[in-house]
């Protein structure tokens, strides 16, 4: 259902992945984002429920907030999943800017391949990675795979590029797409989540084997993990078993962890 995850403290949220801002990274954009996230934390969950549905009829707080919700404060427009975590955050004035730290870190694949011809993204969300790649990598063909049609439906509010020869959105399960589709790619970005975190099908050994097979020679797999770090060990072990060379980088702010895996040793 959901696709990307930069999580922060929230009452009753056992998936919270937050940390205090680092003074080294204190800037206006960071302060604006922190204010936005603090505002979300201050909203009572009953009020959140009312803002999502307008009434209490036929919706309980348990399991009733599964649909994505677009939330706006000042210059920031965000896609929220179940009011529990931020899937995407966008500056309305500068919609192609990468606001969340982990998205900037995922773009580190450019250090290894500065001009990829084909990029596939598992998990669309508000399209932060897709928009950035579309704008700054004009020679790349980008395919974004999103399992939730409701996420795709709000794409216009996040100024996604028009679909055409350079950009395609596929509504499908990411693991099934990687296994079944016959194309290959230079870069594969995996940023897929459901309401419980990392879906089992997107962190299995078979999935990572399929990812390696899908990559062209010299290809790079980039995986965003978002949960308590002690839960990452089995996932990291599976990736390292499938790829000869990996690079593991915790994100300084938040509890995301970005892993780069290379097809060629």
Q: Are residues 83 and 129 in the same domain?
A: no
Instruction: Say whether pLDDT at 254 is over 90.
Output: no
Q: Can you tell me whether residue 165 is helix, strand or coil? A: coil
If asked whether residues 87 and 142 sit together in one domain, one would say no
DSSP string, 241-261: HH-SEEEEEE-SSSSEEEEEE
Please indicate, yes or no, whether residues 131 and 219 belong to a single structural domain of this protein.
Answer: yes
Residue-wise pLDDT tens digits, 169-190:
999 999 999 999 999 999 999 9
Structure-model confidence comparison of residues 61 and 263, the more confident one: 263
Same domain, 43 and 155: no
Q: How confident is the model at residue 233 (pLDDT cuts 50, 70, 90)?
A: confident
SS3 state of residue 79: strand
The lowest-confidence range among 11-20, 52-61, 84-93, 146-155 is 11-20
In a domain, 17, yes or no: no
191 in catalytic set? yes
My answer on whether 250 and 225 are in the same domain is: yes
86 plus 109 within the same structural domain: no
- Short-list 41, 20, 11, 5, CA closest to 252: 20
So what's the pLDDT on residue 193? 79
Residue 184 domain-assigned? yes
- Do 179 and 246 reside in the same domain of the chain? yes
Q: Are residues 236 and 108 in the same domain?
A: yes
Domain boundary among 38, 57, 91: 91
Q: Does residue 50 have a pLDDT over 70?
A: no
- Full-prediction pTM beyond 0.85? no
Instruction: Tell me: do 43 and 131 sit in the same domain.
Output: no
In a domain, 16, yes or no: no
Where residue 231 sits, what CATH number does that domain have?
A: 3.40.50.150
Q: Single out the catalytic residue among 101, 148, 191, 210.
A: 191
- Same domain for 116 and 51: no
13 pLDDT tier (thresholds 50, 70, 90): very low
178 and 225 in a common domain: yes
Separation of CA 259 from chain center:
13
Residue at which a domain ends, from 69, 91, 113: 91
* Pair (80, 136) in one structural domain: no
| Residue 15 within a domain | no
Answer yes or no: is 11 within a domain: no
Question: Does residue 124 form part of some domain?
Answer: yes
Residue 7 near residue 255, CB atoms below 8 Å: yes
- Say which residues have a Cβ less than 8 Å from residue 212's Cβ, sequence separation at least 6: 221, 242, 243, 261, 263
Query: How do residues 137-159 score in pLDDT, each as one tens digit?
Result: 999 999 999 999 999 999 999 99
Domain assignment of residue 141, yes or no: yes
Range of 42's domain? 23-91
State percent of the chain over pLDDT 90.
Answer: 53
- Boundary of a domain, candidates 38, 67, 91: 91
- Give the number of domains in the chain: 2
Q: Which range has the worst mean pLDDT, 42-56, 163-177, 214-228?
A: 42-56
Asked if residue 6 is part of any domain, the answer here is no
Residue 195 — pLDDT band, cuts 50, 70, 90? low
- The span from the CA of 93 to the CA of 9, in Å, is 27
């Amino acid at each position: 259902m959901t696709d990307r995850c930069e999580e922060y403290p929230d009452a009753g949220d056992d998936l919270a992945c937050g940390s205090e801002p680092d003074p080294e990274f204190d800037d206006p954009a960071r302060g604006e984002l922190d204010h936005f996230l603090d505002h979300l934390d201050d909203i009572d969950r009953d009020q959140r429920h009312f803002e999502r549905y307008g009434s209490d009829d036929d919706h309980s707080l348990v399991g009733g907030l599964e649909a994505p919700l677009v939330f706006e404060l000042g210059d920031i427009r965000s896609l929220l999943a179940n009011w529990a975590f931020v899937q995407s955050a966008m500056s309305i004035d500068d919609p192609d800017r990468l606001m969340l730290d982990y998205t900037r870190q995922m773009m580190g694949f450019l250090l290894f391949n500065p001009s990829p011809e084909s990029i596939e993204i598992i998990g669309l969300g508000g399209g932060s990675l897709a928009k950035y790649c579309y704008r700054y990598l004009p020679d790349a063909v980008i395919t974004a795979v999103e399992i939730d049609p409701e996420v795709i439906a709000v794409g216009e509010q996040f100024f996604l590029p028009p679909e055409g020869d350079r950009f395609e959105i596929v509504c499908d399960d990411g693991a099934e797409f990687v296994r079944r589709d016959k194309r290959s790619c230079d870069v594969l970005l995996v940023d897929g989540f459901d309401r419980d975190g990392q879906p089992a099908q997107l962190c299995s050994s078979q999935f990572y084997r399929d990812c390696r097979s899908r990559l062209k020679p010299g290809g790079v797999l980039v995986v965003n993990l978002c949960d308590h770090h002690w839960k990452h060990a089995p996932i990291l072990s599976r990736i390292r078993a499938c790829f000869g060379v990996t690079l593991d980088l915790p994100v300084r702010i938040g509890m995301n962890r970005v892993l780069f895996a290379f097809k060629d040793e």
